[in-house]
Structure 1
Amino acid sequence: MDRRHASGSGLRKSALWLYHESGVRSVHLTGRDAWFVILARTCRMFAFGGASLIMALFFATLGFSDRQLGLFMTMTLAGDCVLSFALTFIADNIGRRRVFIGSGLLMAVSGLAFAYFENFWILLLAAVVGVISATGSDFGPFRAIEESVLSHLTTPETRPDVLSWYIVTSNLGSAAGIEVAGRVVEALKSRDGWSERRIYHAIFGIYVIMGVVNMGFALLMTDNCEITKPELSVDDGTQAAQGLLSESDEEMDGEMAPVSNEPPAPQKKSLFSGISMASMFVMYKLWFLLTVDSLADGMASYALTNYYLDRKFHLPKSQLGDYMSANYILGGISSVFAGPLARHLGLINTMVFTHLPSSVAVLLFPAPQGIVLTVILLLIRGGLNNMDQAPRAALIAAVVKPEERTAVMGITSTLRTLASTIGPSITGALADTDKFWVAFVTAGVLRVAYDLGLWVMFVNMKLHTHEEGGQDSSRSRRVDDEEDSVEMDPFKQEEEEHAR
């Protein structure tokens, strides 16, 4: 009996430890709004993944040229940048949930256009004005605002875990979307009356559904997702006026001095309205480093990596697909550990010491002459490459004011996207001169410089200074109390059972 009790106690302790270390507890304690945000992105990435698989094939069946396809990709990316940049600056004023609803509506309308129309200019307009992901990446207006919402809902202790699961589930959603779209296409091809063109139109029906689902999740979110700006109350104003009168009386030996009705001078702002100069000073350095990293990622993107492997080893396409699938799976699994590592090592150390081996793998990628070592370097890169994403979002949330997060994250996303678009052109020019390998060496050097620069500039920076004594700190105390109760309940139950 005692042995069974000890065994059960050990299992409960192990389950509690796993519940804590995996970050599931942090997501649970953050509340249902966090779940809605995470599920919304998972469903959206499901649609993005499926669309990325068929987009080029769909354009080919419509008879569009490669030049038109390139124009479409460029203009879609430009539209996403403009839309994301604009909405992140107004989201906190008009309401984050309203922006989510509007973005979901744009996603659904764009999907409808691709489901019914075949004219290039109509499709281009739908992609530029709406929300279409031609590459499977989340370049639209959603991500920056979602990361801002999650940063607002969490505490410095729970934030890395919640953002890590935000990354993990989105990777799984994208992988599932690619798999489902591929199987649906193959299944419908064998049925009478289903041409390739009709099948691709049908796939965009999933895109429409996921846009509506995103709107539904936004409607279910609560006011906790919105930013709350402190306002000067009547009592505070009265106390301030009394303080001014008291100081004036002391200085003038009891004589009544006139009290100015002019408001205090506003805090100096940067060119970006609503973002303080103190925050901008920090972000300028971080934006520079992130731009360097994004340029490197564009030069050695996974699409170009796939092309390099094909040119160097002439592998079957199915084998290339297996390597890249394994790469994405490892990236998704490793992201689970980003939150626990950030809790134990800190945000900067986690970002640098997980990303640096990945950068070295990119640098050495062209060196091996055999496929085995090359694939090992590919898997090292992919397995560790995504582990800095959640800590990066948590770092931005930690160095700027809560009311600045949405705008700052929007600017960050836009700058990273613009920088990444330059890389493929550089790599393409090098590939034409049979110096493809130089692109990976250059990208590796840039990534290593980003990692070392990040560590030097930010390792000793004091974080969360804007959350001390504010709303977030009170939320942190409430969550800490809940965490204590969650941790203690199983042990109290064990003691009561043992006493009985």
Structure 2
Amino acid sequence: MASRSIPIPRRGSALDPYLFFAGRFVRDGARSLMAILVVIYLAEIGFSNSQVGIIFGFSLAGGFVISVAVMLTSRGVSTRTWAVVNMFITALAGVLLIVSNDFWILIIGGFFGSYAASGAHWGGMMQLEQTGIAAVVHQERRTQAYSNLSIASSAGRATGALLAGLSTLLINTLEWEPISAYHAVLWLYVGMHGLAALVYLILSKAVHPQSIANDNTSSFLANPFKARARRPILTISSLFAIDSFAGGMVFESFVSFWLFTKFGMSAAAIGGLLIAAHALNIASLALAPWVARRIGLLNTLVFTQVVSNIALILFAFAPTVLIAVVLWLLRALFDEMDVPTRQAYMMGITETDEHSIMAGTANLGRGLGRIPSATVTGWLWAGALTVTPWIAAGTLKIAYDLAIWIAFRRVTISSRSPRGS
């Protein structure tokens, strides 16, 4: 009897799910590396803060445009092709970052290659992973598969952070010039995307939804407004935008500032707390399939988040550092359980040929919701210690949880997912 921890493919190569996990590990390792180094490197080669901001702005816009392109062409361009092309484009943008100091060339590179290290994550590649896994993994195993994917992401980000430290080793120990050291690590970034492209190239054709691949009458372009399941697709995407906006208000840098200012915690103590929280996040991902098997996907993605967000609000009012730490760790334990469950739920309430439309539209909603949240959070802080961001984020997320439960509590998942209208 197969272990519950292994997502058994329903068709295609038995390697397909693991290739997605490996690709996410490598890709998010590179993304983490870039997130740490890119601002330092751009400053080192002479760009001002405003120029870096412009490059990042184009980077986020490019991530959005590529995400739209992936969604719209999901019927005509295979999952494997788009995944390989995405990795090739990102690697090429990394080469531009190394060989050119020209502002306009780096704007182009940032647009296509997501130097901001975020646009590509929530956009096109995430959609391809979600639909590809849904195409080759049995419905009852998808939550486990998405959990494994997210765990691979966490491991990749940790690895990328370690690799970024190579630049410091090269500068301080081997006495390299800073720019040469950064170039060496950025070449590693390029190579990691080349490796990810090779991983995705091995994917079988089965990762492209079979009903689309065999349907010669389908339009080349996918339109969420004409989808049979357009009502659940547009509803869930709008709600995801609210959740993403609220989630974007809770940055680790703000958490650190709060703990330092209110309780006088040292940087080392804060770092230890955040490491423990990340460990509990991974535990949260691992526990999600077990919880979902017992209370259902929708209940898991809703009620675990209610607990997490109540802890977030209470964190703002913690009277002692011990209570604050306990509340933050409690939040971390429940915080990620909705990630694999919402992905499995989205695939479960749409038919196979509309999986890509659901995933693409939902991820675009999450990306658009995240863009203004940092600015709004800055306004709420207003240079003073205030509980407003915590209350606003927690309240909005609880409202999202209840709204999604009310909207979908009567929607059932079957082997042939229900059609919405």
Q: TM-score, normalised by structure 1?
A: 0.77
1:420 shift after superposition: 1.1
2:112 maps to what in 1?
Answer: 129
* 1:342 corresponds to 2:322: no
Is this contact kept in 1: 2:97–2:106, CA < 8 A? yes
Shift of 1:348: 0.5
In structure 2, relative to structure 1, the CA distance for the partners of 1:332 and 1:27 (3 Å cut) is farther
Which amino acid is 2:156 matched to? Answer: G
Whole-angstrom CA distance in 2 between matches of 1:195 and 1:136: 31
How many matched pairs? 415
2: CA distance, partners of 1:46 / 1:177: 4
Equivalent residues in 2 for 1:376-391 (5 A)?
Answer: 376-391=326-341
Q: Distance in 2 between matches of 1:142 and 1:326?
A: 29
Q: Which has the larger radius of gyration?
A: 1
Distance 1:232 1:86, change over 3 A: closer
Q: 2:402 and 2:417 mapped to 1: Cα distance?
A: 28
Work out whether residues 108 and 209 of structure 1, in 8 Å CA contact, stay in contact via their aligned partners in 2: yes
Distance, in Å, in 1 between the alignment partners of 2:310 and 2:76 is 43
SS at match of 1:337: helix
1:369, distance to aligned residue in structure 2 (A): 3.5
Equivalent in 342, 360, 364 of residue 314 of structure 2: 364
2:350 is aligned to 400
Q: Which residue of 2 aligns with 1:432?
A: 382
Matched, 1:97 2:47: no
Matches within 5 A, 1:277-288: 277-288=227-238
- Aligned equivalent of 1:198: 180
1:104 touches 1:211 (CA, 8 Å); kept in 2? Answer: yes
Structure 2 partner of 1:223: 205
Does the CA-based 8 Å contact 2:297-2:345 persist in structure 1? yes
Cα deviation code 1:282-325 (max 9, x no counterpart): 12221222121111111223333333334434544333322222
Equivalent residue in structure 2 for 1:444, among 394, 403, 417: 394
Are the counterparts in 1 of residues 60 and 114 from structure 2 also a CA contact under 8 Å?
A: no
Native 8 Å contact 1:427 1:436 kept in 2: no
Deviations, residues 55-102 of structure 1 (Å, cap 9, x unaligned): 222233233322223323322111101111111221331211111111
Residue of structure 1 equivalent to 2:30: 47
**Contact persistence 1:328–1:383 (CA under 8 A):** no
Distance 1:55 1:97, change over 3 A: same
Equivalent position of 1:245 in the other structure: none
Residue 386 of structure 1 aligns with an amino acid whose one-letter code is E
Name the Cα RMSD after superposition: 2.7
Asked if the contact 2:78–2:208 (Cα under 8 Å) also holds between the matched residues in 1, the reply is yes
Q: CA deviation at 1:368?
A: 1.5
Q: Deviations over 1:323-380 (max 9, x none)?
A: 2222222111220111222222210011112211111122122111432222222222
Q: In the alignment, what sits opposite 1:304?
A: 254
Return the match for 2:162 from 168, 171, 179.
Answer: 179
Tell me: CA distance 1:141–1:214, structure 2 relative to 1, closer, same or farther (3 Å).
same
Cα distance in 1 for residues equivalent to 2:193 and 2:279: 25
**Does the C-alpha gap of structure 1 residues 319 and 155 become closer, same or farther in structure 2, counting only changes over 3 Å?**
same
Contact persistence 1:293–1:446 (CA under 8 A)? yes
Conserved? CA contact 1:83–1:141, under 8 Å: yes
Contact 1:27–1:161 (CA under 8 A) maintained in structure 2:
no
Shift of 1:431: 1.4
Mapping of residues 59-208 of structure 1, within 5 Å: 59-134=42-117, 138-182=121-165, 184-208=166-190
Residue of structure 1 in register with 2:6 after alignment = 24
- Determine the C-alpha separation between the residues in 2 that align with 1:143 and 1:311: 37
Following the alignment from structure 2 to structure 1, what is the Cα–Cα distance between the partners of residues 33 and 312?
A: 28
Q: Distance in 2 between matches of 1:192 and 1:165?
A: 38
1:416 matched residue in structure 2: 366
For residue 115 of structure 1, report the CA deviation from its aligned partner: 2.5
**Matched residue of 2:146: which SS?**
helix
Shift of residue 25, structure 1, vs aligned partner: 5.3
Aligned AA (1:47):
A
For 2:381, the aligned partner's letter is A
TM-score with structure 2 setting the length: 0.90
Q: Distance in 1 between matches of 2:50 and 2:268?
A: 27
Percent of paired sites with the same residue: 24
Stretch deviating more after TM superposition (145-154 or 272-281): 272-281
SS at the partner of 2:248? helix
Once residues 106 and 224 of structure 1 are traced to their aligned partners in structure 2, the CA distance between those partners, rounded to angstroms, is 24
2:325 match: secondary structure: helix
Match of 2:413?
463
Distance across 1 between alignment mates of 2:380 and 2:24:
36
Q: Which runs of 5+ in 1 are unaligned?
A: 1-15, 234-265, 469-500
CA distance in 2, matches of 1:39, 1:28: 19
What SS class does the counterpart of residue 464 from structure 1 fall into? coil
User: Measured at CA, do residues 454 and 303 of structure 1 come closer, stay the same or move farther in structure 2, by a change above 3 Å?
Assistant: same
| Equivalent of residue 292 in structure 1, options 235, 242, 250 | 242
For structure 2, the residue ranges without an aligned partner over 5 or more in a row are none
Aligned-partner Cα distance in 2 for 1:382–1:178: 20
Give the conservation status (yes or no) of the 8 Å contact 1:295–1:421: yes
The 1:314–1:52 alpha-carbon spacing in structure 2 relative to 1, beyond 3 Å, is: farther
Does the 8 Å contact 1:45/1:136 carry over to 2?
A: no
